[in-house]
Amino acid sequence: MAARTLLDSQSSSGTSWHHLMFLIPVVFLAGFTWSCPSRCHCVAQDKVVFCHSRNLTAIPGRIPPDTEFLDLSRNFLRTLQGGMFSRLQALKELDLSHNVISNIEHRAFHGLQNLMSLQLKGNRLDMISGGIFAGLSSLSVLDISDNKILVFLDHSFEDLSHLRKLEVGGNPLVFISSHAFRGLQRLQQLHLEKCKFTSIPTEGFSHLHRLVELRLKVLNISIVPDHSFKGLHHLQVLEIHRWPSLTTLRPQSLSGLNVTSLSVTKCNLHDVPYEAIKPLAHLCVLDLSYNPISVIYGRKLSGLSHLQEFHLTGGRLVTIHASAFHGLAHIRLLNVSSNHLQTLEEDVFHSVGNLEVLRLDRNPLACDCRLLWIVRRRQRLNFEARQPVCAINSTTKGKFFHRFSDLSPGHFRCRKSKIEDKKTLQTVNVEEGGQANLTCKSRGDPPPTISWVSPQDFTLDTSHKGRRAVLSDGTLKIQYALPEDSGQYLCIATNTAGNDTKVARLHVSGPLFNSSFLSKEVRLLNGTRLPLNPFLVDISTLVGILAIGIVPFLGSVAVCFLFIFLWSKGRGNAKTYMAESVPRYPRSWKPVANKCRPVNQKPR
């Protein structure tokens, strides 16, 4: 069509035929440039050739040389020979993913100096040999994930000085040599996933001075040693995901980092790694989701003054202590959904003025006065379409927060702690070595917490372990009571609405019979002294103890008498011998041996 139009125009203008014959080959070659391979689909205006899923076993011919994007994914290519792409010098993106490539010859990509993205995901490569990426001077993105690569040897990527992103996940890597990444001078993103190594390749990472994003997923690493990420001074994002053996982060494990985003998710952390994250002064996003963390303690995160987002969803949170986010003046997002929280008090925060997003859904919330601040700010807070729901109070159970437009008198109220039987002075008398129980029953909304103050002004609560312990019902249990335990104890019942107190007295008397023989003390390993007094034992136990001791004694006596009897019987049949006296002789005489004879026998 184009040739015919050109011919008509030249005929009407009277142009000579030899000029016309010169132009026709030019038009023909222009049309031939974008002659698409028969088994591919081409988009000429975008310079794109799609040959994916065409059961190809070799690179198709007649690919236009000015192609910029070539998709050869999901075919059956096995080997890439040297120089096979050399005529496609305009190529910028090449997708060879999900083939069966097991061998890449030296300089296979020679001539692709404009190539910026190379996809080799899902093939059968078992090694990255030096020189296979020669000629890729402009390559920015390389994906070699889901292959069969076992090791990265020294200088595996030495020809990729402009590489910015490297995907390595899904390879059974067991070893990364210390100089494997040495040529990646401008690498900014590195993703390692489902590898087999059991320790962090610290020396290998140390050459990635420009690295900004490091994602380590699905690894069987149990320990993050101190200074594991040394040399990564420009790292901004660190993600640790699905390390089931990881239970803690050592205090210096993140030393030297200056990250703004840290994620340690789906691991086995039982506590927030306060000491490890303390040096991260510029941290903005902290994600500890899907870890069995039950408590966030107060004033432990105050050093993270730039923190804006805190995520701990899908954990086992039961308590967020007062002032837990003290010092975090810029926090704007808190996500603690899918935990076991009953409340979230306002004094948890340094200030709620900057809080924009709050996720409390899928928690067993008790809608009392502790959550009233959330209801009052419900129009300004973003719950991300996941409204909190009352779960405990019978009058508001199942009701969403946004439905509380006019608070009725029974909603979001608290009742002050009140101890029962305050007027009756509780006095407990116990003998030394016995067990004393001081009771303290209380009620209130929310349920009060009970603590006791000892005569020595020592506070005891449910977290205290040892000889003296506070039970869940508020009872103070003292085992192996000692005289120094005697005195006045103060019970304190506390909830948000107020406190209440009650006094109890304990008297520990000495043993009934104080004898150094019958009364002894045993000192345990922890220093506790336990008195042993036989008169503190009941009669039946005492009779049993005596019986156990008397039986062996009588048996021993009987054996002795039997032995004496047998010995005496045998003595009567024994012959008695007497030694004759030996006279003294002069030294010149020879000694004569002693002679023995029976006593009754006369000498011959």
pLDDT in tens, 471-493: 988 899 999 999 999 999 999 99
What is the predicted pLDDT for the residue at 538? 53
Question: Exposed, middle or buried: residue 255 (CB in 10 Å: 0-12, 13-18, 19+)?
Answer: middle
Is the Cβ–Cβ distance between 237 and 216 less than 8 Å?
no
On whether both 136 and 169 belong to a single domain, the answer is yes
Q: What single string gives the DSSP state of each residue in 535-546?
A: GGS-HHHHHHHH
Residues 146 and 168: their CA atoms lie apart, in Å, by 8
Q: Kindly state whether residue 493 falls inside one of the protein's structural domains.
A: yes
350: closest CA among 381, 318, 324, 376?
Answer: 324
Percent of the chain whose pLDDT exceeds 70: 78
Residues spanned by the domain of 145 = 34-211
pLDDT over 70 (residue 1)? no
> How much is the pLDDT for 512?
53
**Rounded distance, CA 566 to CA 165, Å?**
99
pLDDT for 508 equals: 93
Task: Identify the pLDDT of residue 155.
Answer: 87
Q: Is the pLDDT of residue 221 over 70?
A: yes
Give the burial class of 563: count Cβ atoms within 10 A of its Cβ; 0-12 exposed, 13-18 middle, 19 or more buried. exposed
Residue 531 has pLDDT above 80, yes or no: no
pTM passes above 0.85: no
Return the pLDDT at 29.
37
Q: pLDDT class for 568, splitting at 50, 70, 90?
A: confident
Is 482 inside any structural domain?
yes
Measured CA distances, 11 to 4, 6, 14, 66, 280 (Å): 11, 9, 5, 33, 79
Q: How far apart are CA 90 and CA 113, in angstroms?
A: 8
Q: What is residue 28's predicted lDDT score, i.e. its pLDDT?
A: 36
Indicate if the pLDDT at residue 43 is higher than 70.
yes
pLDDT band for position 572 (50/70/90)? low
Could you tell me the pLDDT band of residue 566, with boundaries at 50, 70 and 90? confident
pLDDT at residue 12, rounded to an integer: 41
CATH number of the domain encompassing residue 80: 3.80.10.10
The band of 8, judged by pLDDT with boundaries at 50, 70 and 90, is: very low
Q: Each residue of 418-461: pLDDT tens digit?
A: 888 877 888 999 999 999 999 999 988 888 889 999 999 889 98
Q: Where is mean pLDDT largest: 23-27, 71-75, 589-593?
A: 71-75
Average pLDDT, the chain: 82
Q: Note the pLDDT tens digit of each residue in 159-180.
A: 899 999 999 999 999 999 999 9
> What is the predicted pLDDT for the residue at 118?
97
Same domain, residue pair 49 and 155: yes
Asked whether residue 262 is domain-assigned, the answer is: no
In sequence order, which residues have a C-beta less than 8 Å from that of residue 439 and are 6 or more positions away?
426, 474, 475, 504
* Whole-number Å distance between alpha carbons of 262 and 273: 12
Same-domain pairing of 17 and 84: no
CATH number at residue 438: 2.60.40.10
Best mean pLDDT range from 40-54, 495-509, 553-567: 40-54
Q: Tell me if 85 is assigned to some domain.
A: yes
Residue 469 has pLDDT above 70, yes or no: yes
β pairing state of 93-95 and 151-152: unpaired
By the 10 Å C-beta count (0-12 exposed, 13-18 middle, 19+ buried), 479 is classed as: middle
Q: Is the pLDDT of residue 589 over 50?
A: no
Confidence band of 397 (pLDDT split at 50, 70, 90): low
Whether 352 is in a domain gets the answer: no
> Tens digit of pLDDT for each residue in 301-310?
999 999 999 9
Q: Which of 88-102, 121-135, 402-416 ranks highest by mean pLDDT?
A: 88-102
Let me know whether 4 and 153 are in one domain: no
Joined together, the tokens standing for residue 379 give 């129009």
pLDDT of residue 188: 97
Structure confidence at residue 492 (pLDDT): 92
Q: What's the angle, vertex CA 552, arms to CA 548 and CA 553, rounded to 5?
A: 110
The amino acid sitting at 192 is: L
Distance between CA atoms of residues 388 and 409, nearest Å: 20
Confidence of residue 527 (pLDDT cuts 50, 70, 90): very low
Does a structural domain hold residue 20?
yes
| Residue 472 covered by a domain | yes
Residue 581 has pLDDT above 60, yes or no: no
Task: Tell me, yes or no, whether 23 and 166 share the same domain.
Answer: no
**Together in a domain, 6 and 155:** no
Residues 61 and 191 in one domain: yes
Q: What is the pLDDT of residues 328-383, one digit of tens each?
A: 999 999 999 999 999 999 999 988 889 999 999 999 998 888 888 888 888 889 99
pLDDT value at 195 more than 70:
yes
Q: Rounded to an integer, what distance in angstroms lies between the CA atom of residue 311 and that of residue 300?
A: 16
Q: What average pLDDT does range 512-522 have in this prediction?
A: 45
Helix, strand, coil percentages for the chain (3-state, nearest 5)? 15, 25, 60
CA 190/CA 171 separation, integer angstroms? 14
- 16 and 84, same domain (yes or no): no
Asked if the model's pLDDT at residue 319 lies above 60, the reply is yes
DSSP string, 365-394: B--SGGGHHHHHTTTTSB-TT---BB-S-T
Which residue, of 187, 211, 235, is where some domain finishes?
Answer: 211
DSSP 202: H
Percent of the chain predicted with pLDDT > 90: 55
Domain boundary pick from 490, 510, 530: 510
- Shared domain for 422 and 440, answered yes or no, is yes
| 100 and 20, same domain (yes or no) | no
Q: What is the pLDDT of residue 547?
A: 64
Residues in the chain: 604
Q: Please state, in angstroms and rounded to a whole number, the distance separating the CA atoms of residues 217 and 167.
A: 12
Q: Taking 70 as the threshold, does the pLDDT of residue 295 lie above it?
A: yes
Task: Report helix, strand or coil for 313.
Answer: coil
- Of 21-30, 215-224, 345-354, 516-525, the range with the highest mean pLDDT is 215-224
The mean per-residue pLDDT over the stretch 258-286 comes to 96
Is the same domain home to 86 and 16? no
CA-based R_g, the chain, Å: 45
Report the pLDDT averaged over residues 280-287.
Answer: 96
Is 108 part of a structural domain of the chain?
A: yes
The pLDDT value given to residue 553: 74
| Average pLDDT estimate for 121-126 | 96
Q: Which of 510, 545, 567 is the last residue of a domain?
A: 510
Q: How many domains does the chain have?
A: 3
Higher pLDDT, 546 or 320: 320
The residue whose two tokens read 């030249």 is 10
Residues 404, 375: contact at Cβ < 8 Å?
A: yes
Tokens of 294: 């039950």
pLDDT at 405: 56
Q: Among 34-43, 99-108, 324-333, where is mean pLDDT lowest?
A: 34-43
| pLDDT at residue 385, rounded to an integer | 83
In this predicted structure, what is the pLDDT of residue 576? 45
* 168 and 70 within one domain: yes
389: confidence class by pLDDT, cuts 50, 70, 90: confident
What is the pLDDT confidence band of residue 410, given thresholds at 50, 70 and 90? low
